[in-house]
Amino acid sequence: MSDRPIYLTEYVPRSELVVESHYVNTPRFPAIDVHTHFGSLVLGDNYEEQYDMGRTVEIMKSYGLKQVINLDGMWGAELDRMMKKIHPYEDFVTTFGSVDVSKLDESGFEKYVVQTIKESVGKGIKGLKFWKNISLVLKDKNGKYIPIDDKRLKVIWETAAEYKLPVLIHIADPVAFFKPIDRYNERYEELQAHPDWSFCNPELYSFEELMEMQENLLASNPNTTFIVAHAGSYAENLACVAKWLDKYPNMYIDFADRIAEAGRQPYTARKFFIKYQDRILFGTDSTPLDIKHRFNYRFLETWDEYFDYSDKEIPPQGRWKIYGIGLEDDVLEKIYYKNAEKVIFGK
């Protein structure tokens, strides 16, 4: 018995449960990861110095990947820089671009959007990526946060549809990030470590308001294909995501960095993945410095019980373990690569 109570941060219990365990280093079918970051968004402005492109491709291929989608293309000179970094591995790394939404109030914004997307397509992008900074960070000239369903942004979605570019969009973070960082918050440790990830602020849009905007975006742009990142923004409530998928045929999802949520509701998740097997794309939120694929493979392919979703001693998203959902081959094949080939490459 310890002479003093231990702090929560010191408590790292080891399960004594004895059950089947499988190490899944490669997927049953070669996979396309539609949600990776090779540039400044996650790695910072000096990303070029942080990894060797050839070695990264070699490692990712060893994990059974046949292609990845890099979401950090940006636009203009930044896109040129990114394309230079991934060269000559364009057959493995496909890049999505974006446009500078901070130009929203400038005259000629619509012309800028059309021209930028046209130029980016000419440079090889296969889709567009937008982040949560729209709605939660960027403000217009009147000092108001720019909602993702703002009519002034419609030119982006219309131009994407014209060029048949899917739009992968990150709208909201986990629900717990919008709640007080207190003893009831299941992501307390994560938010203590990253207080800037908290959006519990009356000046910001609430999670519920963001979900209303997400629906408006899908409903008002039926010709645009949206891949709503991170399990459709609401991995904690797959029943709600299911209603959206039923209602909006232009909506697809990835489940990047959300197996921690899906894996603790294995009965619900398995039913969801089977029912929406044509609308789910494989994604991990990996970077060259943080490759997460084998946990995803184990979740999708095995019936393993009560296992870690991370190799970190204290789980980064919450103190729980997950379960596998044992998907059949025909479902795995769609999720691993067939859906991505259809939505992104038109195959």
DSSP secondary structure letters along 274-306: HHTTTTEE----BBTTB--HHHHHHHHH----S
Cβ burial, residue 123 (10 Å; 0-12/13-18/19+):
middle
Q: Bridge partners of 226?
A: 167, 251
Per-residue pLDDT of 147-168, as tens digits, reads 999 999 999 999 999 999 999 9
d(CA 139, CA 112) in angstroms, rounded, equals 19
d(CA 67, CA 61) in angstroms, rounded, equals 8
Write phi, then psi, for 315 (nearest 5 degrees).
-55, 135
Structure token pair of residue 293 = 């694929």
3-state helix, strand, coil in the chain (%, to 5): 40, 10, 45
The CATH code of the domain at 28-290+327-345 is 3.20.20.140
Percent of the chain residues past pLDDT 90, beyond the cut: 94
pLDDT beneath 70, residues of the chain: 1-2
What pLDDT shows up at residue 1?
55
Closest CA to 60 of 99, 86, 98: 86
What pLDDT shows up at residue 346?
92
What pLDDT shows up at residue 7?
86
What pLDDT shows up at residue 245?
98
Closest CA to 347 of 85, 66, 155: 66
d(CA 90, CA 92) in angstroms, rounded, equals 5
Task: Annotate 153-177 with DSSP letters as a single string.
Answer: GHHHHHHHHHTT--EEE-----GGG
| CA quadruple 138, 144, 149, 153: dihedral, nearest 10 | -60
For 121, 123, 129, the CA distances from 77, given in Å and listed in that order, are: 14, 11, 17
For 103, 114, 116, 158, 183, the CA distances from 100, given in Å and listed in that order, are: 6, 12, 9, 16, 39
- Residues with Cβ within 8 Å of 57's Cβ and at least 6 positions away in sequence, in order, are 89, 92, 93
Per-residue pLDDT of 86-113, as tens digits, reads 999 999 999 999 999 999 999 999 999 9
What pLDDT shows up at residue 2?
62
Residues 171 and 234: beta-carbon distance below 8 Å: no
3-state SS assignment for residue 31? strand
d(CA 131, CA 96) in angstroms, rounded, equals 12
Helices 238-247 + 207-220 axis angle, to 10: 20
Residue extents of the structural domains in the chain: 28-290+327-345
Q: Which amino acid is at 86?
A: I
Q: Give this prediction's pTM.
A: 0.96
Size (the chain), residues: 347
